[in-house]
Structure formats: structure tokens, C-alpha cells
Amino acid sequence: MTSTTPCHVVAAGPPPARLASPAVPAAPSSTTVAGLVTALVGFLSSFAVVLTGLRAVGATPGQAASGLVVLSLTMGLATVLLAQRTRMPVTVAWSTPGAALLATASAPSWPVAVAAFVLVGALVLLTAGWPRLGTAIGAIPPVLAQAMLAGVLVPLCLQPVRAALEIPWLVVPVVAVWAVLLRFSPRWAVPAAFAVTLGIIGWPAWRGGGVEPSALVPALVWTTPDFGSPAVIGLALPLFLVTMASQNVPGMAVLASFGYRAPWRSAMAVTGAGTVLGAPFGGHAINLAAISAALAAGPEADADPGRRYLAARTAGLAYVGFALVSAAITALVVTAPAGFVAAAAGLALWPVLASSLSAALERPEDRIPVVATFLVAISGITVGGIGSAFWSLVVGLAFWAWYRPRPAVGRGTAGPG
């Protein structure tokens, strides 16, 4: 990413144009298959990260289950709405980096965390209606956002290492499946690892009857937001920035790489409204899909670019279907040994951590501000009730303004000091 946010450029442009259809369409079933694969990969690749994040900021098992249900519903309905209205393969997902941030964040209480979720949705809505906010986001150096994300990911990414020593009979099979598929079929590495995780958890739970039947029924649990704590701002701002920089902007770039000029304002309005509506039930944020977006937008979905929106629509309907089983999945996860699900979640985030570190450290002249941001984020400090993710950006921006080398004057000669 560059320092100018691509989303702002798109928002200022003319209405999105539809792509012309080629003469020979692909098989009608290809869009259905692509949509189902998109939903399977999107859900199975990160549901454990979402549950880990929600539990970390104070959600009870029932509230976490409600969060997974409402996230599946809102991102599914948002995907169907955007795909149908734009006739483009616009897919919506939950904020996986945002959930990872929650997993290492601190919140005084669950109602305070819910208030932060509401504020994130309001900021996304504001971005849709006020282009200057998009400009302000674009002014934050992307390398600092990547460094902050890397810093908050590290504690969770260490979980597989620790758990492999503490409960190797559980963790090693999951890691083995992940490593083998990462070599031969990378797309399915994380979903398969999570499927094995659920199998390991589910077998004793099924045999021993450890899950109450009532816990298998999806239910939405209301939580009244508490806006009275300064921690609301300290949690909401990093969550908003991570969601924008690591999901929405790359999501636009993925669509653009396949020739689509997605409607920025419509997408932000729909996902912002979905986040606000879902927040009291535990949904932390929904946004444009990034990695899984290519599954519905690429030629594998359909040879006709004008028909690929059908794949996105199918994915949205599948996400709604996943909402029906989200409570059962959460009930299984709750029965897992301590640290096991967090280890699987951390394993899923290793590629994200590698990508963030690579992007953050790409240019030597940025490395001191980047390292400062990374170290504060990883420290886990809390100052004034506000967590390390927020302070890492404050420190990083201060170093960015102070440390960055002055431009050279003439032929390789440094300017006056």
C-alpha cells in the first residue's frame, strides 16, 4: 500500500462501471461452487480467531456465540445486498485482524468493548459520508499500521509454540495438517487445521455428552454499550484503523486487480451500518473481504466477469447458513483444553504476521519509527486505561515526524542540519 489510501480515490470517482460480458459464459454451476468455497474458506479460516478475541475482551461463552452468529448474519446479508445491487463480486467478511487485536487488548468490561464496536461502525459510516476522513486515514503511514498489527499479532502467534510443549498430543496433529497442506494446497491449510481442531474437541464432547443441547441453538444476546470509559476510544481507534488498513483498502485492491471498480461509499455505508447494528449483540466489525475476495472475483468463479457477482451472492447466503451452526461451534470450542483453540488461532495468523512484518520493514528509512511502533504494540502496556495498540500509533507517529531522514540536496549530499 502507498501512503495515499486507494479507497479515497475510488470514492471520488464516477459511479462504478459494469464490465462487458464475453461471448461464451462458463458453466452455470461454477459460480455456485466458487461462492461456497469462498464462504467455507472465509469462515473456517478465522472463526477461532474471532471467538478468541471476543472472549479476551470479556464476553461470556453465550455472548461470544452471539457475536459469531451476528457477524455471520451481517456479513452474509451485506454480501448479498452489495453483490445484487452492484452486479459485482463484492464480498464482506468479519475483521480478522481486528479480532486478533482484541485477543491481545484489554477492556474494563464487555459493555465497554461493545461500545468500542459501535464506535468503529460509526467511524466507518462517517468515512462513507465524509471524504476528508478517508484523506486523514490515508495520511497515516501504512507501514506504521502494519507495524501495529504485527505487534498485536505476536502474542497470539506465540500460542502454538507454547501449546506444542504443553499439550503436544493435541497441537502437533493440527500443525502437521496445516504444514502439509500449506505445501500442497495453501488455500485449504487453515480451514483443514481448524476442521481437525474441531474434530479433536468434538470427539470427547460427543462421547461424553459435554455440550448442553440448549447451547447448540443460535441466539442473539443483547449487551447495552457503556461509553463512559476512556478505554472505548483506546480500543475503537486501533480497531477502526486495522479494519480499514488491513481489510477495506486491500479488499478494494483485490477487486481492482480483476477489473472491478467497487463502490467505496456504498460498501462503507453497508458495512458500517452492519457493524453498528451487530455491535450490541457482540459483532466487533464487518468489512470488505481481502484474501477470500479473490475466490469470488477471479476467473475460476466464471469466465464472464459480469456473472461473478453470483458467486459473491452465493457466498453471502452460505454465511447466513453458517450463522445457524455458529452456536454449536462455539459450544464445542468452550469445552476445549485451555490454550488449544488459541494455538489454532495463532497458527492461522502466522501468514498475516509475516506479511505485516515484510510490508512494515520494506524500506530502511522507515525502520526506526516502525520498530518503535512494533515494540510499544507488543509490550501490552496500558496507560490511562488505554491499551498498547493506541499508544503504539502515538509513539510511531512521533518518531515518524522526528526521525525520518531529511531529503538529499544535490547529488547525494545531505541538506543542512
Q: What is the pLDDT of residues 27-68, one digit of tens each?
A: 446 888 888 888 988 898 889 899 999 999 999 999 999 999
- Asked if residue 17 has pLDDT above 70, the reply is no
Is 332 within 8 Å of 326 (Cβ atoms)? Answer: no
As a whole number, mean pLDDT of residues 174-180 equals 94
**In the beta sheet, which residues pair with residue 286?**
94
Q: What percent of the chain has pLDDT over 70?
A: 87
- At 270, list the grid cell: 453497508
- Asked if residue 74 has pLDDT above 90, the reply is yes
Whole-number pLDDT of residue 210: 59
Nearest Cα to Cα of residue 329 among 254, 232, 217: 217
- C-alpha 11, offset from chain centre: 22
Which of residues 207 and 354 earns the better pLDDT score?
Answer: 354
- Asked if residue 165 has pLDDT above 90, the reply is yes
As a whole number, mean pLDDT of residues 367-389 equals 85
As a whole number, mean pLDDT of residues 177-190 equals 89
CA dihedral 382→63→351→372, nearest 10 degrees, is: -10
Is 311 within 8 Å of 82 (Cβ atoms)? Answer: no
Q: Across all residues in the chain, what is the average pLDDT?
A: 84
| Interior/surface letters 151-182, b for 16+ CB within 10 angstroms, e for the rest | bbbbbbbebbeebbeeeeebbeebbebbeebb
| DSSP secondary structure of 71-102 | HHHHHHHHHHHHHHHH-S---EEE-HHHHHHH
Which of residues 152 and 73 earns the better pLDDT score?
Answer: 73
Measured between alpha carbons, how far is residue 157 from residues 205, 269, 306, 347, 374 in Å?
27, 33, 40, 6, 14
- Asked if residue 113 has pLDDT above 90, the reply is yes
pLDDT confidence band for 206 (50 / 70 / 90): low
Is 86 within 8 Å of 285 (Cβ atoms)? Answer: no
CB within 8 Å of 274: residues ≥ 6 apart: 74, 75, 77, 78, 92, 121, 283, 286
Instruction: Collapse the DSSP code of 413 into the 3-class scheme (helix H, G, I; strand E, B; otherwise coil) and give the result.
Output: strand
Q: What is the C-alpha separation between 81 and 251, in angstroms, rounded?
A: 17
409 DSSP assignment: B
> Does an H or E element contain 212, and which?
none
Q: What is the pLDDT of residues 307-357, one digit of tens each?
A: 999 999 999 999 999 999 888 888 888 888 888 888 888 888 898 889 889
Q: What is the pLDDT of residues 222-279, one digit of tens each?
A: 999 999 888 898 899 899 988 988 888 888 888 888 889 878 889 999 999 999 999 9
pTM, full prediction: 0.81
